[in-house]
Amino acid sequence: MDSTTIAQPSPFETLVPGMTIHQTTADSPAEQEPGLVIEDLNAYYGAFRAVKDVSMAISLRSVTAIIGPSGCGKSTLIRCLNRMHEVTPGARAHGRVLVGGEDVYAPDADPVQVRRHIGMVFQKPNPFPMMSVADNVVAGLKLAGVRDKQRVAEVTERSLRRAALWDEVKDKLHVSGAALSGGQQQRLCIARAIAVEPDVLLMDEPCSALDPMATLKIEELIHDLRESFTIVIVTHNMQQAARVSDRTAYMLMGEDRAGTLVEYGSTRDIFTNPKDKRTEDYITGRFG
């Protein structure tokens, strides 16, 4: 089937009126070059297993959404991808996460290096209040030792432009990062994350603290950033997942309170023709 034609109306589309589904030219995940591969990932908080046996292959330069009800482990999962999970005392993870063929959890892997190549944007915008807007953008660079002023200035402007923030802040690059509005702060955090040129950009519910206008701007931004970064976004908003992602993964908390991957496929398939009944129940609102 030609993937660019609009799908035939199915019972699911009519049950979820008004939902626009991102048109993607990609088909099954296996056909694209993998940007990030997760193999048998398990994550624990002490003795409690929060994420169980998750395996998925994420394509290079695509947007993958992870959806699911509260507590299903989606934030834990995404934090495992850049080894932020283990920062919490008592937390650990086992499994393999391959980026460009290299395992993030290899015994000789350095979490600091991992995080330089896998960036993260958090739920609540967190610019450094003691730094100006410009200093925030290049914080990752400067603290890694980059001193060349010209390069720093170039990266500042380029990152702010790519984050669709340049026009709004170019005259106030020296105000405190915390003096911007919520939506601007989050775009500043995105600029900061992309300034270090990561391979993968992780976004943990980046819009949940923002108003609809700011959310829209960020969704447009994600669409643009897709050309350069592999993006994984956790969202509790199904409509957002449908609008923004090429592929969607549905997670659910099992009987043992561990989160598992129920279904993973193209966004269109997930929202119009899910294979698993649990996915269908969630999409149509019967559950969660």
Site residues, other proteins (CB under 8 A)? 82, 84, 87, 89, 112-117, 119-120, 122, 124, 126-130, 139-140, 143-144, 189, 192-193, 196
Q: Between 127 and 274, name the residue whose CB sits nearer to other proteins.
A: 127
Q: How far is the CB of 120 from other proteins (least distance, A)?
A: 4
Beta bridge partners of 286: none
**Residues 252 and 278: beta-carbon distance below 8 Å:** yes
Q: Between 101 and 145, name the residue whose CB sits nearer to other proteins.
A: 145
Q: Between 140 and 265, name the residue whose CB sits nearer to other proteins.
A: 140
Q: Which residues contact 89 (CB under 8 A, 6 or more apart)?
A: none
The DSSP code for 85 is: G
Q: Between 71 and 90, name the residue whose CB sits nearer to other proteins.
A: 90
Q: How far is the CB of 92 from other proteins (least distance, A)?
A: 15
Q: Between 116 and 278, name the residue whose CB sits nearer to other proteins.
A: 116
Outline where DSSP puts E strands in 152-287.
200-204, 230-234, 247-253, 259-266
Q: How far is the CB of 18 from other proteins (least distance, A)?
A: 34
Q: How far is the CB of 173 from other proteins (least distance, A)?
A: 19
**How far apart, in Å, are the Cα atoms of 200 and each of 85, 104, 124, 126, 231?**
16, 12, 20, 19, 6
Q: Between 204 and 280, name the residue whose CB sits nearer to other proteins.
A: 204
Q: How far is the CB of 195 from other proteins (least distance, A)?
A: 9
Q: How far is the CB of 160 from other proteins (least distance, A)?
A: 16
Residue from 138, 168, 155, 162 nearest 218 by CA: 162
* In the block, residue with structure tokens 């915008």: 125
Beta-carbon count within 10 A of 229 CB: 23
β-pair type (63-67, 91-99): unpaired
Q: How far is the CB of 192 from other proteins (least distance, A)?
A: 7
Q: Between 114 and 244, name the residue whose CB sits nearer to other proteins.
A: 114
CA dihedral 242, 243, 244, 248 (to 10 degrees): 10
